[in-house]
Each structure stands twice: as structure tokens, then as C-alpha cells.
Structure 1
Amino acid sequence: MREDAGDGEPTLVWERPEPPSRPAPSPLSRARIVKAAIELADAEGLEAVSLRKVAAALDAGPMRLYRYLATKEELLDLMVDAVYGEIPRPEPAGGDWRGALRSLAHHTRRAALRHEWFAELLGGRPHLGPEELANLEASLAALRGAPGFDDIDTVLRALETVNAYVIGAIRKESAEARAERATGLNERQWQRAFGPYIERMLATGRYPTVAEAVREGGDTDPDAAFDTGLDWVLDGIAARLAR
């Protein structure tokens, strides 16, 4: 992520000048490199992304990429930031803070569904690229001053709570999609394969609450499940504000 500027101060990839473009043998830029890496990750998964493979997709030697990037981690940071650039910025909430947070959650999930690998890179320390910072600024500003959000700590806690739910939910969806590809079984096929085992285990009587959940729990699709969980999170924030 960092490269020494020569004076002891590390420079981040966001602030490092881009090398002059050279037309031959193939033109390169950070934008082209990131676009190629995203296309590779979308098609083959994050594990397929390497500087060598990205260079091959651009008809360039891997060493040329090191003029633009110091490490693979920098490439991943740039990829994440590019996806943040696809997420529409929240509008000022006014009185509808729930609408602002719901919009942010849904747009983030849609971006993760377009780019399944995106969920794998969320969480932990923020990436802090310019697009992510712009997204964060708009999200904080959308809540700042809305009824109940009278101080920045309240804004931060509410946004962190929604983000934690969204990241957890989309990581679960992403993991299920990867498992389906790995096993070749969709959800219905998986249920048929494991159903007899589950029924035998439930018949022992040792798992009565699990049995109730399996036999009586609602079968909701991913969109409905995401909406329901998000509503519960927003209800919790509303209850906290009311206190």
C-alpha cells in the first residue's frame, strides 16, 4: 500500500503520481490496470487476480505494472475504491434518516452482487481511497443534523451499525454463491442431498428448537431476508434515538 518517497515519508498509491503513458507495446494506466483486474475477479474470483494475469490481459509484461503499483495489495485497494465509485452517494436525509441508511445499504449490496469479490475485501481497516472517502463523507453528512443525530458520535455509531449488518449479510450471500459453484449444488439440490441426514438428526429429539426452525421457519428469498434484517437494525437505531 505504501512506497517510500525518498525522504522517509511513505506515499500512498492514491497520492503517487502516475508514470507518463507510453503507447508501445501497449498503453497502460492505473485505470486500465484496475479495470482489467476487476474484469478478471468478476469472471474467475479474487484468487485469480495476480499482477502476472492482469499484465497478460493487458498484453504487457508484469514488470511494467510495477511502474504503477508497488504491491498486489495496492491493486486490491484500487479495485475496492473503483467499486465504491459505482455506489451512488446518499442524499441529505432531512427527516428521513431511515431512507438514507436504507438507500446506502441497498446500493452497497447491489455493488457486491455485481462484484462478488468485493465483500471479501470489506471490513477491517478502511481502504481510504478517494471514492471511499467521498462515500463516507456523503453518508455522514446525510445523517448529520437529522432528528436525533445531534452529535457526530451518534452519526458514527448508527452508520457503523448499518455497515456491520450490510457487510455480514453480503459476505454470507457471497460465501453461499462460492459454495454453490464449488459443490455444483444449488440450494434446492443441497437440501435434497443433506435433507435425510438432517431429518435423522432431528428425529433424535436432541435439537427441538432447530427442528422448529427447520419445519416452521419462513422460507424467504435473499432480497426479503436482507430487507427484514435491515428493518430490524433500523428499528434498533430508532429505539436508541428515542431513549
Structure 2
Amino acid sequence: MPRDPGADAGRDAVGVDPGQLWRAPGDGPRRGRRPAYSRETIIEAAVGLADAEGLEAVTMRKVAAQVGAGVMSLYSYAPDKETLLHLMVDHVSGELPATATPTGDWRADLKAIAHLQRAHMLRHPWLPAALATRRVPGPNTLAFLERALAALRPSGLDGAAKLEVFAQLTAFVAGHVGHEISSAEASRSPDRAAAEARYLAAVAADGHHPELAEALAAPGRPLTPEATFTRFLNRLVDGLVSG
């Protein structure tokens, strides 16, 4: 039978129907037996796996084993891994405080939001990778977005620009945290760190990279993860202008 060309009209680029995604199983008319598990149980199991073993460890089979279910039974809660990832992202977004009274200093409020995002992503190291592809915003994600937009009200930016600023901020935090995690893993290998330091010292001394040599010779700055993040964040947010 030919496929109806309009059948997927409500689905996004990754095949997730936003109109159905955020309606938990059982919200509509119920037929047959009551489900043995809740969507919440399935999502929490998937998040636990991702936190402990990384995003690649999240498979429908492993999640089913975590909750003691058959693999096929999971498909009534999430038809595929991509849908499950949408649910996972929004589930952990519920940990972010969605309400706060704006101070009126939108740059300060935006920086506070970025620090919350960084701490959140460090608790769930799989999030930067999960956010790298298009995600359908669920209720928790939208609640945090509402907080960010309220914080940006005094900025004078129009609606589209405020959305762009929040997307830019989130992308910055995700990229920085991803680098922070990989750097922490690399630092556990002293030999590798020493080899990299020797290489950069040799490059700076070869006479072909005077700008790099000057930069490396400059006084150092605090290199703690928090201080580095704050420094980069200040440059980003303080450079934003109305318009």
C-alpha cells in the first residue's frame, strides 16, 4: 500500500512527533492491560545508564534489562532510541531551577544561568553530546527557556534575538563542558600532558611562531575549571549588544 505523504507531516527532522512525544502513555483512551512500567521508570533507567557508562551504553536492550522488562515492551514508551534521548534530555532538565526573579541586570542573570547549565552538564556528562543534535523541547526545557527569556527582557533584544542568545549560550556551555571533561580525562595521563608541554615549548622556540611564543610567555591566569569557565563566559556575555 503506498505510504501517505502526509503521514509524517507533524514529525521533525529526526522523526519525533512533538504532538505525541510529551503525552505520556495512558493519557489517551486505554485499551487492554494497564502498562507494567511507567515512562518515568524507563527514562530514569536510561539516564542512570548514561550517567554511569556514557550515551553509547543506552540501548533499548540495556534499558529493558535495567527495569526487568522485555525489549519489545519498551517500544510502547519510546519507539526508538532517538525518542528516548528526547525524553532523557527533558527529564534531567527538570533539575534546573525554572523560576527566579530577574535582577534587572540581564548579563549577570545570563551568567548565572550559564553556571547552572555547566553544573547540570557536569552532573550528566552525556548531555553535551545529546544536545548537539536537534531536540524537541519538552515541558522542563521550556520552563527553563522561559526563565532565560525573562532574564533577557531588559536587554532590548527582540524575540528572535533572545532565542538566538539563549541557543548561543547553551551551545557555548555544552562545548566548554565537553572540552572540560575530555581535558580532565587527558590530565589523568601525566606522560601525555608532559609530552604536550614539551611540544608546545619546542614550537614556541622554533622562531616560526612569534605570536604563539609571545602568548605562551605571558603571565599565566588561574587555570581551575571554574575560573577558566567564568573567564570565557564573561567574554561571551559582556560582548553581547542590543540590536
| TM norm structure 2 | 0.80
| Alpha carbons 2:102, 2:151 under 8 Å: kept | yes
Distance 2:151 2:123 in 1: 25
**Gaps spanning 5+ residues in structure 2: where?**
11-16
Task: Look up the SS of the partner of 1:116 in the other structure.
Answer: coil
Task: Look up the SS of the partner of 2:76 in the other structure.
Answer: coil
- Larger deviation, residues 222-231 vs 161-170: 161-170
Distance 2:135 2:230 in 1: 25
Counterpart residue number, 2:125? 116
1:84-115 Cα offsets, whole Å, 9 max, x none, are 11111252424221232112101111110000
Alpha-carbon deviation of 1:80?
A: 0.5
Is residue 205 of structure 2 the alignment partner of residue 203 of structure 1? yes
1:20-68 Cα offsets, whole Å, 9 max, x none, are 644xxxx421111111111111111111110101111111111111121
Is residue 89 of structure 2 the alignment partner of residue 80 of structure 1? yes
| Alpha carbons 1:89, 1:104 under 8 Å: kept | no
Is residue 23 of structure 2 the alignment partner of residue 15 of structure 1? yes
Distance 1:54 1:160 in 2: 30
- Larger deviation, residues 227-236 vs 10-19: 10-19
Task: Look up the SS of the partner of 1:226 in the other structure.
Answer: helix
Alpha-carbon deviation of 1:124?
A: 4.2
Distance 1:196 1:232 in 2: 29
| Alpha carbons 1:21, 1:29 under 8 Å: kept | no
Distance 1:199 1:41 in 2: 38
The verdict on how the C-alpha distance between 1:230 and 1:199 changes in structure 2, with shifts beyond 3 A counting, is closer
2:124 maps to a residue whose letter is H
2:44 maps to a residue whose letter is K
Q: How much identity, in percent, do the aligned residues show?
A: 39
Count of aligned residue pairs for this structure pair: 224
Of 198, 210, 233, which residue of structure 1 is paired with 2:236? 233
The verdict on how the C-alpha distance between 1:211 and 1:37 changes in structure 2, with shifts beyond 3 A counting, is same
Counterpart residue number, 1:159? 166
Greater relative contact order, per chain length (Cα 8 Å cut-off, separation 6+): 2
Is residue 110 of structure 2 the alignment partner of residue 107 of structure 1? no
Is residue 185 of structure 2 the alignment partner of residue 171 of structure 1? no
1:134-155 Cα offsets, whole Å, 9 max, x none, are 11122212322x2x42632443
Counterpart residue number, 1:35? 44
Q: CA-atom RMSD, angstroms?
A: 2.6
Distance 2:21 2:50 in 1: 20
Task: Look up the SS of the partner of 1:17 in the other structure.
Answer: coil
2:165 maps to a residue whose letter is A
